[in-house]
Amino acid sequence: MSVIRNILNSRSSQGGNFFNILTQILGFKPKSLTHYKKAFTHRSLNRKDEEGNAINFERMEFLGDAMLSAVVASHLFKAVPGGNEGYLTKMRSKVVSRKHLNELGKDLGLINHVQTNISKEQFGVNIHGNLFEALVGAIYLDRGYKYCKRFIYERVIDPYVDIEQLEGKVISYKSLVIEWCQKEKKEFDYEVYEDTGNDELKHFAVKLRINNRVVAKARATSKKKAEEKASKRAYYALQNKIE
């Protein structure tokens, strides 16, 4: 009776659409919406449970991150029996990279279902990946490891994990450039300064110097993005030497 009651309650919540939307996203019916509601609750609502604990997707995100890493690690361990610890760690990082998780969350339109008190336009790009991780955590709590693993395989591993492609995929151009400079004993420096352009959003500009020679420039809305952008340009300019 409790299961039936949960399903009926689920179908009547959030305009009667949330249960159906989740079923489409998950590929199976949730038993209860309790965990999923938390997975789509933003901290701006300042909700708390009866014991005063905060209710939002951040704790669920932590759990989902762990489940993703575990399932992907298990898959890679079996798929590449000759891979050592460093190789497997690097490959897993490529699969569960923030950029990839953001793309997955965006493709599923998860941001459309967030309950929040602030404009969704104010969210950073990482909200998509955070929600995807929170959803994975909710699946684990609602249906257990079997369904959680099934969802990760259907949404992440089966369509995107190709060993040969992953081996050639770059996560961070900045790391590649720095590793190359250290290996070749070259001095490098990222000169970051505030951009004085006319954009509404504040921009930062970066000059990447290697052995006191500017090899690349870039600008972006954060120092980290500008450095990565400049590193990518430097990598392609020096690709033959680096590879």
Which of 75-89, 167-181, 186-200 holds the top average pLDDT?
75-89
Catalytic residue IDs: 65, 133
Whether 210 shows a pLDDT value over 90: the answer reads: yes
Q: Among the listed ranges 4-13, 82-91, 210-219, 223-232, which one has the minimum average pLDDT value?
A: 4-13
Q: Does position 3 have pLDDT exceeding 60, yes or no?
A: no
Band of residue 12 on the pLDDT scale cut at 50, 70, 90: very low
Structure tokens at 81: 């029996």
Buried b (16+ CB within 10 A) or exposed e, 148-164: bbbbbeebbbeeebeee
Instruction: Give me the pLDDT at residue 11, please.
Output: 44
**pLDDT at residue 18 greater than cutoff 60:** yes
Mean pLDDT of 80-92: 89
List, in order of start, the domains of the chain with CATH numbers.
2-166 (1.10.1520.10), 173-242 (3.30.160.20)
Q: 198 vs 238, which has greater pLDDT?
A: 238
Q: Is 133 annotated as a binding residue?
A: yes
Establish whether 240 is an annotated binding residue.
Answer: no
Is the pLDDT at 185 greater than 80? The verdict is: yes
Determine the pLDDT at residue 124: 86
CB 226 within 8 A of CB 218: yes
Tokens standing for residue 190: 């990222």
Would you place residue 173 in the very low, low, confident or very high pLDDT band (cuts 50, 70, 90)? confident
Closest to 215 in 3D by CA, of 194, 242, 197: 242
Find which of 57-66, 120-129, 171-180, 181-190 is predicted with most confidence, using mean pLDDT. 57-66
Confirm or deny that 164 is annotated as ligand binding: no
Integer Cα distance of 18 and 181 in angstroms: 52
**pLDDT, the chain, mean:** 87
List Cα–Cα distances, 91 to 64, 151, 156, 159, in angstroms. Answer: 19, 20, 14, 16
What proportion of the chain, given as a percentage, has pLDDT over 90? Answer: 58
Angstrom distances, CA of residue 84 to CA of 88, 143, 157: 6, 33, 20
- Give the number of other Cβ atoms within 10 Å of residue 97's Cβ: 15
Residue 242's pLDDT band, with cuts at 50, 70 and 90, is confident
pLDDT of residue 5: 42
